[in-house]
Amino acid sequence: PHQRHRSFSMTTNVAADAKSLLLLLANRRTPEAAKDAALQELMSAPAEQRDRLLDEAAALITASTPGSLLASRRWPLPLPSRRAALGSYARLLDSMMAEESGGGARFTDGGDSAKKRRFIGVLLRQLRRGKGVWAIEREAAKRRRQETSMEEMLGRTPEDLETPAYDVVASGRAGWEVRAYSEFSVASTRRDRAVNASGVQLQ
């Protein structure tokens, strides 16, 4: 049988609107046209109304995991559960808040509430192209497993490694630099290959 999907339209019930928007976009079976229409409805709303809805969405996401088995963990398969979907949102939002702190005015003005609104907006736009929130969380977890931390990179760097020469072309108060490097060569190795302070053991 044909599965029906509700459309989204903003009303005076902000809590209901926030929940409806989150769940509609979280569902991988929601047609892209319906997701596009929902996002257009959100973005065309006055800024104050849009912020109220996103604040309510953040509150729903934050409140989803305590005391809920379905929301408190990432399951190996997507579950047809609203709590599980909200739990995926919660873990994604927590990860973004921890890892994407930012230093510019758009990240600092308005405090955590403004940051959560921006990050939820990013998540909602990522969900518009057919994927559900479970798949987005799976991709994020996979990327985190593949990332190399600064501590690991420093630990893998051979002692007394010669670094390329460069000139600083420009710099800013925030600590950034634009550099012009002399020519240099780069060698790479597999991520799973053992590396110690003396370099890669050649065989």
pTM over 0.85: no
**For the residues of 84-109, what is the DSSP string, one character each?**
HHHHHHHHHHHHHHHH----SHHHHT
Q: How confident is the model at residue 171 (pLDDT cuts 50, 70, 90)?
A: confident
Calculate the alpha carbon distances from 153 to 12, 142, 174, 186, 194 in Å: 51, 19, 23, 15, 13
Output the pLDDT for position 122: 93
Distances (CA, A) of 183 to 71, 158, 160, 168, 176: 51, 21, 19, 15, 21
pLDDT tens-digit readout, 59-70: 999 999 888 899
Q: Are 63 and 18 within 8 A, CB to CB? A: no
pLDDT tens digits along 82-127: 999 999 999 999 999 887 655 555 555 668 899 999 999 999 999 9
Average pLDDT, the chain: 83
CA distance 148 to 139: 16
Q: Report the pLDDT value the prediction gives residue 121, as an integer from 0 to 100.
A: 94
